[in-house]
Chain A
Amino acid sequence: MSVSSPLPHDSAPLHVTGAARYIDDIPTPPDTLHLAFGLSDEAHGIVVSADLSEVRAAPGVVAVLTAADLDRPTDVSPAAHDEPLLATGEVHYHGQPIFLVVATSHRAARAAARLGKIEIEPRPAILTIDDALKAQSYFEGGPLTWTRGDVEAALADAPRVIEGEIEIGGQEHFYLEGQAALAVPGEAGEMVVHASTQHPTEIQHKVAEALGLHMNAVRVETRRMGGAFGGKESQGNAPAVACAIVAARTGQPCKMRYDRDDDMVITGKRHDFRIRYKVGVNTGGRLLAVDFTHLVRAGWSQDLTAPVADRAMLHADNAYFIPAIRIESHRLRTNTASATAFRGFGGPQGMLGIERVIDHVAHELGLDPLAVRRKNFYTKTKVQETHYGQPVTGFVLPDIVKVLVDSSDYEKRRATIAEWNAESEVLKRGIALTPVKFGISFTLTHLNQAGALVHVYQDGSVHLNHGGTEMGQGLNQKIAQVAAEAFGVGVDRVQITATDTQKVPNTSATAASSGSDLNGMAAKAACDEIKGRMVRFLSKKHGVKPKELAFKGGKVHLGGLQLSFEDAAMECYEGRVSLSATGFYKTPDVAWDRERGSGHPFYYFAHGAAVTEVVIDTLTGEYRLLRADILHDVGESLNPAIDTGQIEGGYVQGVGWLTTEELVWDGKGRLATHAPSTYKIPAASDIPDTLNVALWGQPNTVPTIYRSKAVGEPPFMLGISAFMALSDAIAACGAAYPALDAPATPERVLMTARRVRR
C-alpha cells in the first residue's frame, strides 16, 4: 500500500550525492549574464542624484539600469501594485533596490553594485511600532476590529482582570538556498523562467506584465527549492522579473541569485508584533473576556500583510473558547523591508498572544498553566463556535493532551522540577505544555483550488505534474504515493517532474499547508478519470463487470483474470483509450467575510501539543532544551516519515523564532543581523537531548485526501512550549510574573530573571 508508507523523499538519493539541481546548478550557456541590485543606504528619502559611472566602468559590467531605463512601470508586488522593481525617486527602506547591474559574472555584478554613488535626501523614517503609532502610519486606513460579545461589560463584571503586553520579534526565513532565478529567452518573444519560487503562476503573471506579454508567452519552471518557508511566496518576484527584463533586452540568458547578505537585507521576514491584552477571568481560571490589541509592523509595502494579520486574529483563540473577545489589529506601515509570509502566516503570533494570556492568568491565580488551558479548551461534546463563527468540530485536543500528559510524565516531572529548583541556586528548570489548533485553508477562498496532469504511457509508467512546488516538504513523494495507490502500482512507477506553468495552469502558491490537500486531490481526480476509462474498456473487453475490476499489487484484477498494469495500459492504448487526463479540486464548504470577521474560513483544524523542559543559568541567561515530547494530529498520514520530519523541523524552527533568532535594526533602519554570523538559527546542539515525536493517527473527520491532514505549518507553533518553559524556569526565580518577551535570548532571560528576583 503506497499511501501511508514511510518512504524516503523522492530526491533523497540526489540530495546526498550533490546531484539535485537548484537554480544556480542548472548548466547555462557561456554568454549568460549575471545580475545584482544596487541598494538604498537610507531608510527613507528622495533620490537626488545617481552617479553610476563607476559602476558602468567596473570590470565585466555590461549594462546598468534604473527605473527610468525600463520600458514600462514594473511592479513586483503580489497584489497591491505598490512595489516598483527599482525605486522610482523615493526610497522606502534601507536595502531597497535602486539600480540593476548586468555583468559577465555574479561576482563582477556584486562588486560593481557597491560602486554606485546615490545621493539620497533623507526623510524622517518610521522604523518602529511606536514610530508608526505616533505618525498614524497605517495600511488599510486604520485598525481592523472583530468583536464577539460585550467585552467591556464582561471585563467590568470579571472577578479578576489581568493586563499585560508581549513583544514578539520577527524571523528571517534563512532558506539555505537564497532567492534565485534564471531567464532564458526563446523565439518570438517567449520567455522561460526557472525560479526558486513557491508560486510559479505569480512569477509568470509578473514577468508577463513586465514584458508586456500575455501569460501564454511565459513559462515558469520550478524543479525544487532549497527551502522556502513562505519566503519564496512573493519575494522571488523581483529577481525573476529582473532576469526576464534583461534577457528580453539582450537576447541572452540572465541569472540572478542574491548573496546571503543582500537576501537578508532586501527580502521580507516574519512580521514582528506587539500584543496588548486585558483579560477577565474567574477565580478558577476560566476566561470570561479578552481584549487584544495586535500591533503589526508591516514594513514599507503591503505585500501579504492583510491576510497575515487576519490569520493572527483568526488564531487569537488558539484552542480556547472565549465568550467575549475583541481583537483590534493595527497594520503599521514602516520604513523597513516589507514583512511577508512565513510558516504559520500570522497564526504563530496570534497564538502566542493567547498562550501568554493563559500563562499570565495561571501565574496570577497560582494555578498550573496546563490546568487553565484544559479548563478553557473548546468542548468536544457540545460544539462551540470560534469568535469568527466557525463551529469547532473534530476537536481532538483534549484527547491528545490527555495522552501526552501521560506519555511525557508531565505531572510527576513538574513536581520533581519544583523540588529541584528549590535546592538549586544558579540553575532553574522549567516545563510547559502548549497546544496548537490551526485552521487549514487559504482565507482568500478562491485560492483553494488545484490542478494536476497525469499520463499513463503504453509501457505502464505514470507521469504526473501538479500545481504544487517542492521546497523540501516531500510534496512530490506524497503525491506520487497517491497516484501509485490509485493505480495499484509501486511508487517507483510514478515520475513527477518540475512544476511547470505549461503543464498545470493558474496554480495557487504552495502555501497555507495546503500542498498535499489540494494537489493530492487533484492528482487523484486525474488518476481516477484515467482509471475509469481503463475500467470501462477492460471490463467490456474481458466481459467482466466494472465493479469486479481492481487495481492492486501492480496488477489489474478482472474477476478471475489478472493483467499486469503494463499489459493493461498496452491493451487500453491499442484499444484507443485516452490515457491522459487533468484533475481538478476545489475545497468545499469554505466561505469568509474578512471585513466582518465572520464565516467558515477553514475546511478543518489540525491539532498538536508539545511538552518542553528547559534549564536556565541565572548567572548568564544561557539555557538548554532538555526534553520535548510531541503528539501531533496529521489525520491518517500519507507518509509518516515525511510528516514526522515536518513536525520535528517545524518545532525546532518555532523554537528558533522564540529563542536565539534575534533581528536587530540599528537607529537608521539598517538590519544589523544580515548573515548567519550574526543571525542565529538553531544549530545541531540546540535541539532537546530527548525529542519524542508521535503521530495522532485518527482519520480526518472531513474527506481530505485519504483522510490525511495538512502538516506544513501547524507544528511550527509547538515551539511555543519551549518559550513557555523558559518563562516557567524564570518564574522559579521569584514572585513576580516574568512577562518574558520574544525572542528569549540569553540576555533577555537573564534580565527577566533579575527583574523577577528583585
Chain B
Amino acid sequence: MDIAFLLNGETVTLRDVDPTMTTLDWLRDSRGLTGTKEGCNEGDCGACTVMVTDAQGTRGLNACLLFLPQLNGKAVTTVEGLAGPDGNLHPVQEAMVTHHGSQCGFCTPGIVVSLAAGQIAGETDHEQQLAGNLCRCTGYAPIMKAAKAAAQKPVPKWLQDLPTGPARRGLSQAKLPASVDALAEFLLANPSARIVAGATDIGLWVNKDFRDLGEVVFVSQIEEMARVETAPYMIRIGAAATVEHLRLALQDHHPHFARMLARFASAQVRNAATIGGNIANGSPIGDTPPPLIALGASLLLRRGDFTREILLEDFFLDYGRQDIHPGEFVEAITVPRDPGAPDRLKVYKLSKRFDQDISAVLGAFNIAIEDGKVQSARIAFGGMAGIPKRATAIEAALVGKPWTRETVEAAMGAITEDFTPLSDLRASMGYRLVAGSNMLLRYWLEDEGMATSVTGVSA
C-alpha cells in the first residue's frame, strides 16, 4: 500500500508498505527512532505510546498495535519530537526530571508521550490517562507529581495546532476507503477481506500469532462511520467510533455506562478500539455488548447496498460464531432512547486489577420499577458464557415482583439457570456465579441509597 503522513513534522511518503507493518517496528527498525520502546508488543504496557493528530484531535496510541496504513493522512509525534525546536524540554519531560519520575527509564518515553497527549486533549485525570502505561520501578507516585506539575503549564507552543497531517494529501486507494459506500463496494468485491479498524485485537494476531491476514481493508479514513449521533429517540453509534468517543458521548445519557468505559482497557486502547470491532470480533468478554444489550441496542448490518437491522443480542450465536455473512459488515449500532424515562442502566465491571484489565465478569442491569414493582428487566453479562448473554431466568424472577430484597435474593439464585461459566486464569466458576449474582444485590442496595462502591471511600 502507498501512504503519506507527518512524522515529527516531516512528511513521509511510503510506497508498497506491508499493510501489517506496525508503526513500532517501522519507527525502530527503519527510522532508527528507538526512543519508542517495545515492552510487551500487545498494547498492555504503553512503552510504545506515540501521539497521533488528525481532524478529531490529538491522542496517545500504542505504536505496537498501529499498522502503518492507519496513519495515512495523520500526524505522528514520537518522544523524539516532543522537545522544542531550540531543544527546550517539553513541560512534561522537565517535570519528570524534576520530580524523579524515571528510574530505569524504559517506560518513561511512553509515559511522557501519554501525558503530553493528555495535556493537549485537556485530560486532568492523570491516573486514568496513565492506566495503560505500566511502570515497574517508581510505584507511580513521582510520576503523578510530575503529571500534576506539568498540568499547570500551557501546551508548549510548538505542539499547539499540530498540523493534522497531510489529510488531503494522504494517498487515496481502495484499501483505505473514505466512505461507507466505498467500503461496502470493496467488501462486495472482496468478501473475504479482513476489516481493520483500531487493530487492538487484530494487532495481536500479527504480533503474537504471526497470522497472515490476507486481504485487508482499513476503515480509519471513513469519518462518517466514526460518528456518534444523538436524536430524540435514539443514539446512533457509527461502527468505527472509538470507545473513547463513545465514553464521552454517553456521559450525559448513560453516565454509569460511561464510567465503566473509563475502565475499558487504557486511554491508548480506547483511542483506537472501535465499538464495531468490540462487537464484531464476537468476544465473550468484550465490555460494550452487555450494556448495549441491556439498553436494547440494534445492529445495522450492510452488504453492498443491502442493509438489515437485528437486535444486538441476536447477533451472538455461539462462541466464535456471529450472525454475519461474507461481504457484510457492521455499519452502526442504534440505542433506543426515551427522553422522558430515567436512566436505569448500571454497569459493573469486575477484574483482577481495577484498571486496564479484561473483565472476569461484566454485568449490565437495566431494571425499571413502577409502583414498587419490577416493570421490566434487561440484564446481560459478559464473561459468564461463550457469548455476551442476557440473564433471562434472573429477569423472569424479577419482572412483576415487588422490588424488595426478598425478590432480589430469590432472583440471584436463578443465575445458575442462566449460566455455567468457565474456570480460567481470570476467575473460577464459583467466583463468577457469586460475584455476578451479587451485582444484582448491589443494584438494589444502590437503589436503597447504600454505599457499595470502594471508589467512594477515603481514609
- A contact residues vs B (CB 8 Å cutoff): 6, 8-9, 11-22, 24-25, 27, 105, 107, 110-111, 114, 173-178, 224-229, 259-261, 413, 424-427, 429, 471-474, 613, 615-617, 619-624, 626-627, 641-642, 644-645, 648-653, 660, 662, 664, 672-673, 675-678, 680-691, 693, 745-747, 750-751, 754
Closest to A11 in B: B105
Interchain CB contact under 8 A, B131 and A684: yes
The one of A174, A229, A624, A651 that contacts B139, using a Cβ cutoff of 8 Å:
A651
B34 in complex: contacting residue of A12, A16, A25, A620, CB < 8 Å: A25
| Chain B residues closer than 8 Å to A224, beta-carbon distance | 104-105
Cβ-defined contact, B352 with A18, below 8 A: no
Query: Are A427 and B38 interface neighbours, CB within 8 A?
Result: no
Say yes or no: A624-B105 contact (C-beta < 8 A), given A427-B451, A649-B138, A682-B139: no
The 3 closest A-B pairs by CB, nearest first: A18-B35, A472-B104, A226-B106
Residue of A nearest to B97 (CB): A12
B residues near A, CB below 8 A? 25, 28-29, 32-42, 44-45, 47, 78-80, 82-83, 89, 92-94, 96-98, 100-109, 112, 126-128, 130-144, 208, 210, 348, 350-358, 360, 424-428, 430-431, 434-435, 438-439, 441-442, 445, 450-455, 457-459
Residue of B nearest to A409 (CB): B459
In the complex the two chains form, is A616's CB within 8 Å of B427's CB? no
Cα–Cα distance between A474 and B457 once the two chains are bound (Å): 36
Contacts of A690 in B (CB 8 A): 459
Choose from A14, A177, A473, A751 the contact partner of B37 (Cβ within 8 Å).
A177
**B29 proximity list for chain A (CB < 8 A):** 105
Q: Which A-chain residue is minimally distant from B440 (CB atoms)?
A: A619
Contacts of B40 in A (CB 8 A): 260, 675-677
A-side interface mostly: loop
Q: Name which of B34, B41, B143, B358 has the most chain A CB atoms within 10 A of its CB.
A: B34
Task: Verify B352–A615 contact, CB threshold 8 A.
Answer: no
Mostly, the B contact residues are: loop
Contact B457 A176 (CB under 8 A): no
For B32, the chain A residues whose CB sits under 8 A away are: 27
* A444 CB, min distance to chain B CBs, angstroms: 26
Residues of A within 8 A of B36 (CB): 18
Closest CB in chain B relative to A561 CB, distance in Å: 38
Residues of B within 8 A of A471 (CB): 104
Q: Do residues A675 and B44 form an inter-chain contact, with CB atoms below 8 A? A: yes
CB distance from B115 to the nearest CB of A (A): 10
Contact yes or no, A621 B102, CB < 8 A: no
User: What CA separation (Å) do A19 and B79 show in the bound complex?
Assistant: 9
- CB pairs A–B below 8 angstroms (7 shown): A16-B92, A111-B210, A424-B451, A425-B450, A617-B454, A649-B137, A676-B44
Inter-chain contact A619/B210, CB cutoff 8 Å: no
Give the residues in chain B near A620, CB-CB below 8 Å: 348, 350, 435, 438-439, 442
Taking the nearest CB of chain A, how far is it from the CB of B132, in angstroms? 8
Q: Is the CB of A227 within 8 A of B104?
A: yes
Closest to B78 in A: A18
> Given A427-B457, A613-B459, A680-B352, A747–B428 Cβ distance below 8 Å?
yes
Distance of A197 Cα from B126 Cα, bound (Å):
33
User: Bound complex: CA of A690 vs CA of B44, how far in Å?
Assistant: 26
| Min CB gap A370→B, angstroms | 17
Of the residues A27, A107, A176, contact of B47 by C-beta under 8 Å: A176
Task: Judge whether A683 and B109 touch: CB under 8 Å.
Answer: no
**B436–chain A nearest beta-carbon distance, Å:** 9
Chain A residues whose C-beta falls within 8 Å of the C-beta of B132 in the assembled complex: 683
In contact, B34 and A18 (Cβ under 8 angstroms): yes
B39→A177 contact, CB < 8 A: yes
B25 CB contacts on chain A under 8 angstroms: 107
Q: Kindly list 20 other residue pairs between chains A and B, CB separation below 8 angstroms, not including A25-B34, A747-B360.
A: A12-B96, A12-B100, A15-B109, A24-B28, A174-B134, A226-B104, A226-B106, A227-B104, A424-B451, A472-B102, A621-B435, A626-B459, A645-B138, A676-B44, A676-B134, A681-B136, A683-B130, A683-B134, A685-B127, A685-B354
Q: Contact between A19 and B425 (Cβ–Cβ < 8 Å)?
A: no
- Least CB distance from A657 to B in Å reads 12
CA gap between A473 and B45 in the complex, in Å? 20
Name the residue of chain A whose CB is nearest to the CB of B431.
A747
Instruction: Say yes or no: B140 contacts A687, CB within 8 Å.
Output: yes
A617 touches B425 (CB 8 A): no
Q: Check A641–B100 contact: CB distance below 8 A.
A: yes
Point out the residue from B28, B37, B128, B139 that lies within 8 Å of A653, measured CB to CB.
Answer: B139
Nearest residue, chain B, Cβ from A21 = B34
Residues of A within 8 A of B35 (CB): 17-19
Closest A residue to B79 using CB positions: A18
Chain A residues lying within 8 Å of B78, measured Cβ to Cβ, are 18
**Given the complex, which residues of B lie within 8 Å of A754, measured CB to CB?**
434
Looking at the assembled complex, report how far the CB atom of A705 sits from the nearest CB atom of chain B, in whole angstroms: 20
Of the residues B42, B93, B355, B450, contact of A426 by C-beta under 8 Å: B450
| Nearest B residue to A617, CB-CB | B454
Question: A425 — which chain B residues lie within 8 A by C-beta?
Answer: 445, 450
CA distance A177 to B105 in the complex (A): 10
Bound CA span A610–B173, Å? 61
- Pairwise interchain contact B135-A750, C-beta atoms closer than 8 A: no
Give the residue name and chain of the A residue nearest to B25 (CB). A107
Contacting residue for B431 out of A17, A626, A751, CB 8 A: A751
Whole-angstrom distance between the Cβ of A67 and the nearest chain B Cβ: 25
User: Which of A6, A17, A426, A652 has a CB less than 8 Å from the CB of B79?
Assistant: A17
* Bound CA span A261–B451, Å: 41
Q: How far is the CA of A348 from the CA of B352 in the complex (A)?
A: 22
Contact B453 A617, beta carbon cutoff 8 Å: yes
Known: A17-B35, A429-B457. A648 touches B42 (CB 8 A): no
CA distance A12 to B358 in the complex (A): 33
Closest Cβ neighbor of A618 among chain B residues: B438
Max chain B CB contacts within 10 Å: which of A624, A644, A747?
A: A747
User: Closest CB-CB distance, A54 to chain B, in whole Å?
Assistant: 13
Closest chain B residue, CB of each to CB of A12: B97
A48 to B170, CA, bound (A): 55
Q: How far is the CA of A8 from the CA of B427 in the complex (A)?
A: 42
Shortest distance from the beta carbon of A721 to any chain B beta carbon, whole Å: 13
Distance between B246 CB and nearest chain A CB, rounded to angstroms: 21
* Residues of chain A with a CB closer than 8 A to B454's CB: 427, 615-617, 622-624
User: Do A684 and B133 touch (CB < 8 A)?
Assistant: yes
Q: How far is the CB of A536 from chain B (nearest CB, A)?
A: 40
A10 to chain B, nearest CB (A): 11
Tell me, in angstroms, the Cα distance from A617 to B454 when the chains sit together.
Answer: 6
Question: In the bound complex, what is the Cα–Cα distance between A649 and B103 (angstroms)?
Answer: 9
Decide if A683 touches B131 in the complex (CB within 8 Å): yes
B439 near A648 with CB under 8 A, answer no
Q: Once the chains bind, are B459 and A680 in contact (CB under 8 Å)?
A: no
A697 to chain B, nearest CB (A): 18
- In the complex, chain A residues whose CB is within 8 Å of the CB of B128: 685
Q: Which residues of A contact B135 (CB under 8 A)?
A: 176, 684
